[in-house]
Chain A
């Protein structure tokens, strides 16, 4: 088994799906000859040609719109938003068309599009290259939002997203692309969308998070283990719709829950997770449900010290877990 980076795992999933199903095609800015700004589509243009790896104009509404139209006609498009921050012009296409079409047409039509977008901060990207956008889409029935936390998950979930019969927003943390490496099987495998996964089993505090924060939570948990604090980590993997059962089980297990996201605190995915816990787990709670998130400022600041202050990291998670453990 080869050790792959997160971006290599994404690339491998795309290549294998293009090979497996000729209805699969890729479209986006600089995805062709250039291979994508992060090299997610590196080598695919050469292997599959310009009809299956399409460079598009700099117009996100068109990328989404073309993809949605093709999907409704039976194709399996993988549309790339160069940065998640740029998805805003495509929101009308994604929410009003892709997410609604199955319901609106009473099952006559569906829209099996996958929209990939790199999100997140920590790479000194400033306002337009750092945002977390999942909460904007996370109350649109018909849409699924998948946010893998590791190379292995990225490959398996991207394959599932491409094969899914409905639109999937596939958000990849851009800092994870080259930070995270692990062994990824070369053979074909998929992971279920809509299912959270326990990444670490523990007794004292439950951390529920997703995306790159899972990595930071693992680092914090390893350190705290030496102090005798045992941490359960649940990776949501799919942030919409949420895996309620897994959340309830993880929260009930320890009764002390820390929710972590890189996104702004108010209105984030965490609020919904906290609501599920409060609806179902009252009699299992041993402490107030805590949220660790970015401050409520419009976006990640450009200045390095401010960016560092804004972002969740392993130290902040460690401190928050310790406080809950001691409560």
Chain B
């Protein structure tokens, strides 16, 4: 039996203290490792603190309502058996921005006993420590410096999500979201496996996705749209359009046009959650997802409701070209209020999009497929497309989204040269 201390964990990169809102255990309670023991409020997140050990709580040191610093004692726990297991996994550790030197792979994961011990004692995730030793090995001095840095860098913060935030593509460091509890297990690397470091855009994508899926309660719906008229109209125009304008008249331009019109009628979907309020956007700026090689860009077409089909098609062509040539600017990516994702371009017929944080919804335009449809009790071959909507259920409900989707459907099914001129 050994009595261990449970300390205030690091609940976010720059979080230095937390307030215990509720104790979920009392002295004498038996808990399993990872069981929540307290609810803690910080200026960034509200989170449950998991137990670092299995055992019996012997004494609660901090009291409810008390604000204590990261690393300070919360309570004592009596642990059966040997000394405590490392609690590395559950730590939401801060990140280092340093990258390993070239050719670091061979010694990077060879840890000396003192490095292992210090990592356990200070709950350091060794993947985050930069190694300056031979072959990128983490030396005692490296980990000591890392620990010292972690202690001295604790600086006060207050940065609630700004209500005036307009875009998902803020610089990452401005508001780096860290999920309250990370229980990432070590993944075993098998011989022959390739390890690809997560950096740059991939890292930003990952952070945004985790933030969106962790914070936003997603709900989902899908409608079928008969776009036979649209297909006929577009096929009739596309060759001459290409000849005159020099770029394609894509279906996607018509979908964006329809979505913009529907958003004008249902501004509830053109909004975002801001904690104590919902902000409805005045401008209709549509983010469009553009994939290039292994990367995903989300540039923005601004004021789509004011643009003709030609204007939209032109911007799609321009932004796609910029993405292919890696010349998208920060400005191209800013200001989106709603996202339309052209999943049909790679053959998907049904998908569940992840909302582009902090927007309130995302619409997936799937493949246009010729299908038998019953009209007036007769089979007909029609061009059909599925539209899938993911919505932030804090902001939106099924009724309003259903109305929005029906409106989009009505616009699309009635497209003709009369209702929707290209110029």
For B115, B140, B141, which residue has the most chain A Cβ atoms within 10 angstroms? B140
Q: Are B137 and A285 in contact (CB under 8 A)?
A: no
How many residues of A are counted as interface, with CB atoms below 8 angstroms from the partner's CB atoms? 13
30 A/B residue pairs, CB under 8 Å, sorted by A: A203-B141, A204-B141, A254-B140, A255-B112, A255-B114, A255-B140, A256-B140, A282-B113, A283-B113, A283-B114, A283-B116, A284-B113, A284-B114, A284-B117, A285-B112, A285-B113, A285-B114, A286-B112, A286-B113, A286-B114, A286-B115, A286-B139, A286-B140, A287-B112, A326-B133, A326-B134, A327-B133, A327-B134, A327-B137, A327-B139
Residues of A within 8 A of B134 (CB): 326-327
- Give Cα A256–Cα B141 distance, bound, in whole angstroms: 11
Shortest B222–chain A CB gap in Å is: 58
- Give the B-binding residues of A (Cβ under 8 A): 203-204, 254-256, 282-287, 326-327
- Give Cα A177–Cα B88 distance, bound, in whole angstroms: 56
Residues of A within 8 A of B113 (CB): 282-286
Shortest B362–chain A CB gap in Å is: 50
- Give Cα A256–Cα B112 distance, bound, in whole angstroms: 10
Residues of B within 8 A of A204 (CB): 141
Write the chain B residue with the least CB distance to A327.
B134
Majority secondary structure, B binding face: helix
Write the chain B residue with the least CB distance to A284.
B114
Residues of B within 8 A of A255 (CB): 112, 114, 140
Majority secondary structure, A binding face: loop
Residues of A within 8 A of B112 (CB): 255, 285-287
Chain B residues 82 to 140 lying within 8 A of chain A, measured CB to CB, are 112-117, 133-134, 137, 139-140
Shortest A315–chain B CB gap in Å is: 21
Chain B residues 215 to 250 lying within 8 A of chain A, measured CB to CB, are none
- Give the A-binding residues of B (Cβ under 8 A): 112-117, 133-134, 137, 139-141
Write the chain B residue with the least CB distance to A203.
B141
| A to B contact number (C-beta, < 8 Å) | 31
- Give Cα A204–Cα B139 distance, bound, in whole angstroms: 10
For B113, B114, B115, B117, which residue has the most chain A Cβ atoms within 10 angstroms? B114
Write the chain B residue with the least CB distance to A283.
B117
- Give Cα A43–Cα B302 distance, bound, in whole angstroms: 104
Shortest B250–chain A CB gap in Å is: 58
Shortest A23–chain B CB gap in Å is: 51
Write the chain A residue with the least CB distance to B138.
A286
For A254, A256, A283, which residue has the most chain B Cβ atoms within 10 angstroms? A283
- Give Cα A284–Cα B113 distance, bound, in whole angstroms: 6
Residues of A within 8 A of B133 (CB): 326-327
Shortest A278–chain B CB gap in Å is: 10
| Nearest 6 CB-CB pairings of A with B | A286-B140, A283-B117, A286-B112, A255-B114, A255-B140, A286-B114
- Give Cα A256–Cα B137 distance, bound, in whole angstroms: 14
- Give Cα A284–Cα B137 distance, bound, in whole angstroms: 16
- Give Cα A327–Cα B140 distance, bound, in whole angstroms: 10
- Give Cα A254–Cα B115 distance, bound, in whole angstroms: 12
Shortest B209–chain A CB gap in Å is: 38
Shortest B124–chain A CB gap in Å is: 15
Write the chain A residue with the least CB distance to B112.
A286
- Give Cα A285–Cα B134 distance, bound, in whole angstroms: 16
- Give Cα A285–Cα B115 distance, bound, in whole angstroms: 8
Residues of B within 8 A of A327 (CB): 133-134, 137, 139
Residues of A within 8 A of B115 (CB): 286
Residues of B within 8 A of A203 (CB): 141
Residues of A within 8 A of B114 (CB): 255, 283-286
Write the chain A residue with the least CB distance to B142.
A286
- Give Cα A208–Cα B141 distance, bound, in whole angstroms: 20
- Give Cα A285–Cα B113 distance, bound, in whole angstroms: 6
For A284, A286, A326, A327, which residue has the most chain B Cβ atoms within 10 angstroms? A286
- Give Cα A284–Cα B112 distance, bound, in whole angstroms: 9
- Give Cα A255–Cα B137 distance, bound, in whole angstroms: 14
Residues of A within 8 A of B137 (CB): 327
Shortest B137–chain A CB gap in Å is: 7
Residues of A within 8 A of B117 (CB): 283-284
- Give Cα A131–Cα B415 distance, bound, in whole angstroms: 103
Write the chain A residue with the least CB distance to B111.
A286
Residues of B within 8 A of A256 (CB): 140
